[in-house]
Amino acid sequence: MTDSTINDAGKKARQNAENIADTMTDQMKSAGEAMRQSGERITEAGTELGMKLLDQAEANTREAFAAMRAAAHAKDVSEVMRIQQEYLRTQGSRAMDQAREIGTMITDYGRQTLTQMTRKD
The span from the CA of 88 to the CA of 52, in Å, is 22
Backbone angles phi, psi at 74, to 5 degrees: -65, 150
Mean pLDDT by 10 residues, the chain (121 residues): 74 86 85 77 84 95 96 96 96 96 91 74 51
3-state secondary structure 94-116: HHHHHHHHHHHHHHHHHHHHHHH
